[in-house]
């Protein structure tokens, strides 16, 4: 054993996370047989229209382990074949409601194939074949679910955007001092950004609807409370909160988090994280529960662009 480890000292006692991406295209239909046509359409909107509709899904599989004697956690060819055999070959170009028995809604235990329930079931299909750490499933580039194998707990993220101007300066400081602190961002007439916002909601997947919260209600909240009031404004002047709070990316993210926390609780979810991408070069993330931020900042250190 000692002889072998001496050939790969980088891996000795250290674990590594690797990811593999896989894509598939599938259709689905949100329609529960125990509900009337009207109730189905009230609950699921256009997703309840027969015969269904489709998405180009993207799955990111994160796995963790020590390195082997070849400097790898796993042979990527084995990973690729496991994902293909257990998941994509069974789902690609299929109707999800009929592809796996977990989505058979004629049975009481059947669950709608939402993004969050699909990622959970994919975990069940993969877990005995790969050392899973987490799964992310994109239904489209602006909607994805994360799952880490914790029973019915999942995360759903919606990405949206708004455009706004701001000026970074404290009114109680002279211009010269503001320019020292905030640089060009303190220039008197402001400047603008196309802000990208990611709202991550945590919750339990409902065993029947497959949802952690009502997605259309969530989209309405984000639109009504954030996008409509913020879009095409001068934040310092048009948003009362920023009349005496410098609208840095951090403060905007915190304010969005404060505005959304209670309304999201009221629709059955729990706001987990707000990420505000201000430019390609800087973003800010805030976690609703401060104790969770430390863990996540550590875990995601390598992949996020947190600080300017
Ligand atoms: Zn859909
Ligand atoms: Zn700026």
What's residue 188's pLDDT?
96
Task: Give yes or no for a contact between 254 and 276, defined as CB atoms under 8 angstroms apart.
Answer: no
What's residue 167's pLDDT?
98
- Which DSSP state fits 12? T
Ligand 2 center to residue 225 CA distance, Å?
A: 21
Pick the CATH number of 151-308 from 2.130.10.10, 1.10.340.30, 3.30.479.10, 2.20.130.10: 3.30.479.10
Ligand 2 center to residue 290 CA distance, Å?
A: 25
Considering the candidates 7, 53, 191, 232, report the single residue annotated as catalytic.
232
Ligand 1 center to residue 84 CA distance, Å?
A: 22
For the chain, 308 residues long, the average pLDDT of each consecutive 10-residue run is 53 85 98 97 95 98 92 94 98 98 97 98 98 98 98 98 98 97 97 98 97 95 98 98 97 98 96 98 92 47 34
1-149 and 151-308, same CATH topology: yes
Residue 187, Cβ density class (10 Å: 0-12 exposed, 13-18 middle, ≥19 buried): middle
Of the ligands numbered here, which is closest to the C-alpha atom of 185?
2
Domain ranges of the chain: 1-149, 151-308
What's residue 221's pLDDT?
98
E strand or H helix that includes residue 248: none
For 42-66, letters b (16+ CB in 10 Å) and e give: ebbeebbeeebeebebbbbbbbebe
Q: H-type helices in 29-174, by residue range?
A: 37-44, 76-83, 89-91, 96-99, 115-126
What's residue 13's pLDDT?
73
Ligand 2 center to residue 145 CA distance, Å?
A: 30
Considering the candidates 129, 185, 206, 245, report the single residue annotated as catalytic.
185
Q: Is 185 a catalytic residue?
A: yes
Sequence-ordered list of residues with C-beta below 8 angstroms from that of 134, at least 6 positions apart, any chain: 62, 146, 147, 148, 149
Of the ligands numbered here, which is closest to the C-alpha atom of 112?
1
Q: Which CATH architecture has domain 1-149?
A: 2-Layer Sandwich (3.30)
* Residue located via tokens 């690729």: 80
* Radius of gyration of the chain from its Cα atoms, rounded to whole angstroms: 23
Q: Is 245 a catalytic residue?
A: no
Of the ligands numbered here, which is closest to the C-alpha atom of 211?
1
Q: How far apart are CA 203 and CA 288, in angstroms?
A: 13
Q: Could you check whether the bond before residue 51 is cis, i.e. omega within 30 degrees of 0?
A: yes
């Amino acid at each position: 054993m000692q002889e072998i480890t001496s050939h790969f000292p980088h891996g000795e006692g250290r674990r590594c996370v690797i990811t593999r991406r896989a894509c598939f295209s599938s259709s689905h239909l949100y329609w529960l047989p125990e509900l009337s046509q009207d109730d189905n359409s009230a609950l699921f909107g256009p997703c309840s229209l027969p015969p269904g509709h489709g998405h180009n899904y993207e799955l990111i599989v994160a796995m963790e382990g020590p390195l082997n004697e070849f400097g790898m956690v796993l042979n990527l060819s084995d990973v690729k074949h496991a994902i293909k055999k257990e998941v994509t070959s069974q789902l690609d170009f299929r109707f999800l409601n009929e592809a796996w028995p977990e989505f058979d809604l004629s049975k009481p235990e059947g669950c709608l194939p939402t993004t969050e329930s699909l990622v959970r079931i994919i975990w069940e299909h993969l877990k005995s074949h790969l050392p899973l750490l987490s799964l992310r499933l994109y239904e489209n580039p602006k909607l994805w679910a994360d799952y880490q194998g914790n029973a019915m707990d999942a995360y759903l993220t919606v990405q949206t955007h708004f455009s706004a101007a701001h000026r970074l300066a404290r009114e109680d400081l002279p211009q010269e001092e503001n320019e020292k602190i905030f640089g060009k961002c303190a220039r008197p007439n402001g400047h603008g950004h196309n802000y990208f916002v990611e709202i991550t909601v945590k919750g339990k997947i409902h065993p029947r609807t497959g949802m952690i919260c009502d997605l259309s209600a969530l989209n309405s909240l984000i639109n009504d409370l954030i996008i409509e009031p913020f879009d095409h404004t001068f934040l310092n002047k048009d948003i009362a909160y920023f009349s005496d709070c410098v609208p840095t990316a951090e403060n905007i993210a915190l304010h969005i988090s404060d505005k959304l926390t209670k309304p999201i609780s009221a629709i059955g979810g729990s706001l987990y994280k707000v990420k505000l991408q201000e430019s390609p070069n800087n973003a800010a993330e805030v976690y609703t529960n401060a104790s969770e931020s430390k863990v996540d900042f550590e875990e995601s250190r390598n992949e996020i662009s947190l600080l300017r």
